Chains A and B, each alone.
Chain A
């Protein structure tokens, strides 16, 4: 690490005392690079095993890495906290302008602790930190970002992270939205913001950084920019974006439909990436310092019902995961209806994936008579019924009844109380991502440190497995290798979409320019250390290998790789347990 690099500076903010200070920790950034590596080390330092996720003691940690601000597509920020949704490790990644803003403000990490007496928002402008009153913003459905943005300097080079009503009301899967269209979606970071009376966080800054060899730097930069803009490997993100996966996954029966009860959905072609692009794509935008522009915004034109010749056009970002969770999972086959559901989920500030899986569970539980109109307060959830789903989403946030408060804690909690565990699609208490592709996906969710499809991209392993036979040992090996390598990418912090460009060789070259003299075996060791550190935190916080099981439903419906065999899955689980324990 270059001696003058401000990356080593950690900004601590105490919301209770309204104080802030900076600590220099080159040791952490030398050992763990940045991003997820430094964040887990800081979580270990700042969050004990008995910390209640809703308590002021639960820290919010944001971390960036040495390549942010230096190279393209190093555009992500890692957030770490104890998850109010699972009670365990909370980790979520987001782009927007956050990573560059934090780096340019002169920090490698920000740690927020305590609880504000009144609603507030924090404004960080370089070395200055302001605690601003947000009592007027609390409870507003319209974006607090819109109001904050007109009152604060730094336009063009700042990030504004904010929560919606779901975070304020402590729904356990509330998200943090940044730059209107990006999210720290999973595991309830928005809830932690809400529990601290923290409505928003703005960061801005501007500076120059150092590299070890400017000429080399310029050469590598040009190469990477060209690769990211022109390579075939990036094409799918450029063109249709992640929704390009809808059709191929529906052909291979990998996209979950109606809570995984069936793999047939009549009309699924109407919610394909192609249809979204053709009918709705209104604009494409990018995260800061990424040429790919994978963010696809749909323009949804809505008439005013009470006023003829008045329309409003809303822009909504759509991705594969949203089309799955708020579309196929709920039997919705109209792209307009999916966008309308996305709109309410955005307005409320909820995690889209968890919301979709909650709605799917509610629908099936209702069909099976486990819950009735008495619980839903007269709303009849049924596959494809947009209006019912919109109403339920609002009640998840605003509902006063016991039932709505229960489902506001997610599927795991609701099914523990009402029954319906067999079709509760959760992994480590986190709701299922959109891939029913085979062992790689499901075992990956179960063992992924954050129970996300992005931990190990099991669906990619499953894609390979469709044409090649893998033993349980081989699948486990692939999951572990991928998840460990991803610790490096997310410590730098490179967007996973750039993973095929940032090979170990390129990563080492880039790191050299950032002042890190490492070889591949050093990298692999760091990856393993970070991964093990996460598992140590998980186990300390109550994660139990022996209670790990896949949801019953997974075995009942053929996946892209055919029926999932329970014995084979069990074998994978057993091997993984041993392998992970060996690392600790």
Chain B
């Protein structure tokens, strides 16, 4: 679990992490991000952060009918884009809602376990530990 949410009560909802995730995917903006931040039913109640925990036995990989998601040695998955048909089963399989969707390529945005979200968070809501 390289990135874990330490204390979402400290999240201010600035979405700096989402932009950081985009940059980690070589993009500027929100389309190529997989991390999500949502208010808990109104901003006064604070925010929830949804980020890939790098499962060692990832349900997303098991759900992929094309074997496009390769399980990484230390948890998490790698996307083989040439195999991916854009069916979206991986997204449904992830209970953390930690897979993004790029509607231009029509393919999932998969966490690359880089920790940029945590490293960019100004309030240390998340922590990154390399295994």
A290 at the interface (CB under 8 A from B): yes
Query: Which of B37-45, B57-65, B76-84, B88-96 binds A?
Result: B37-45
B87 at the interface (CB under 8 A from A): no
Chain A residues with CB below 8 A from B85, complex form:
none
Segment 2-24 of B: residues with Cβ below 8 Å from A? 12-16, 19, 22-23
A286 at the interface (CB under 8 A from B): yes
B46 at the interface (CB under 8 A from A): yes
Cβ contact within 8 Å between B28 and A217: yes
Segment 196-238 of A: residues with Cβ below 8 Å from B? 206-211, 214, 217-218, 221, 225, 229
CB distance from B106 to the nearest CB of A (A): 14
Cβ contact within 8 Å between B31 and A208: yes
Cβ contact within 8 Å between B43 and A289: no
A578 at the interface (CB under 8 A from B): no
Cβ contact within 8 Å between B30 and A285: no
Chain B residues with CB below 8 A from A155, complex form:
38-39
**Contacts A206-B103, A221-B23, A297-B44 given; does A289 touch B16 at CB 8 Å:** yes
Partner of B13, one of A72, A210, A211, A285: A285
Cβ contact within 8 Å between A157 and B26: no
Cβ contact within 8 Å between B22 and A208: yes
Cβ contact within 8 Å between A207 and B31: yes
Residue of A at shortest CB range from B23?
A: A218
What 1/0 flags go to A246-290 for Cβ under 8 Å of B? Answer: 000000000000000000000000000000000000011111111
**Contacts A156-B36, A293-B12 given; does A146 touch B30 at CB 8 Å:** no
Partner of A180, one of B14, B16, B42, B120: B42
CB distance from B108 to the nearest CB of A (A): 14
Partner of A286, one of B12, B27, B38: B12
Docked Cα-Cα span, A197 to B19, in Å, equals: 36
Docked Cα-Cα span, A541 to B28, in Å, equals: 41
Cβ contact within 8 Å between A293 and B123: yes
Docked Cα-Cα span, A221 to B29, in Å, equals: 13
Cβ contact within 8 Å between B19 and A289: yes
Docked Cα-Cα span, A70 to B19, in Å, equals: 9
B113 at the interface (CB under 8 A from A): no
**Contacts A156-B38, A206-B103 given; does A104 touch B29 at CB 8 Å:** yes
Q: Interface range on chain B: under 10, 10 to 19, 20 to 34, or 35 or more?
A: 20 to 34
Residue of B at shortest CB range from A221?
A: B23
Cβ contact within 8 Å between B14 and A69: no
Cβ contact within 8 Å between B44 and A229: no
Residue of A at shortest CB range from B121?
A: A291
Cβ contact within 8 Å between A69 and B12: no
Cβ contact within 8 Å between B43 and A179: yes
Chain B residues with CB below 8 A from A104, complex form:
29-30
A181 at the interface (CB under 8 A from B): yes
A100 at the interface (CB under 8 A from B): yes
CB distance from A365 to the nearest CB of B (A): 37
Docked Cα-Cα span, A221 to B22, in Å, equals: 13
Chain A residues with CB below 8 A from B38, complex form:
155-156
What 1/0 flags go to A405-417 for Cβ under 8 Å of B? Answer: 0000000000000
Chain A residues with CB below 8 A from B14, complex form:
286-293
What 1/0 flags go to A141-155 for Cβ under 8 Å of B? Answer: 000001001000001
A184 at the interface (CB under 8 A from B): no
Chain A residues with CB below 8 A from B103, complex form:
206
Chain A residues with CB below 8 A from B123, complex form:
293
Residue of A at shortest CB range from B19?
A: A289
Docked Cα-Cα span, A146 to B28, in Å, equals: 31
CB distance from B110 to the nearest CB of A (A): 16
Docked Cα-Cα span, A323 to B4, in Å, equals: 39
CB distance from A146 to the nearest CB of B (A): 7
Docked Cα-Cα span, A270 to B68, in Å, equals: 62
**Contacts A225-B16, A289-B15, A290-B14 given; does A315 touch B44 at CB 8 Å:** yes
**Contacts A104-B29, A208-B28, A208-B32 given; does A285 touch B43 at CB 8 Å:** yes
Chain B residues with CB below 8 A from A206, complex form:
29-31, 103
CB distance from A211 to the nearest CB of B (A): 6
CB distance from B18 to the nearest CB of A (A): 8
CB distance from B22 to the nearest CB of A (A): 7
Partner of B120, one of A146, A225, A293, A297: A225
CB distance from A226 to the nearest CB of B (A): 10
Docked Cα-Cα span, A310 to B44, in Å, equals: 19
A–B Cβ pairs within 8 angstroms, 29 of them: A69-B28, A100-B15, A104-B30, A155-B38, A157-B15, A206-B30, A206-B31, A206-B103, A207-B104, A208-B27, A208-B29, A208-B31, A208-B104, A209-B28, A209-B29, A214-B26, A214-B28, A218-B23, A221-B23, A283-B44, A283-B46, A285-B43, A286-B13, A289-B14, A289-B15, A289-B16, A293-B12, A293-B123, A314-B44
Seed contacts A181-B43, A208-B104; 14 additional CB < 8 Å A-B pairs: A146-B42, A155-B39, A156-B37, A179-B43, A207-B29, A208-B28, A208-B29, A211-B28, A225-B122, A283-B44, A288-B13, A288-B15, A293-B12, A293-B122
**A residues whose Cβ falls under 8 Å from a Cβ of B:** 69-70, 72, 100, 104, 146, 149, 155-157, 179-181, 206-211, 214, 217-218, 221, 225, 229, 283-293, 295, 297, 314-315
Interchain residue pairs A-B with the least CB separation, the first 4: A315-B44, A286-B14, A293-B12, A291-B122
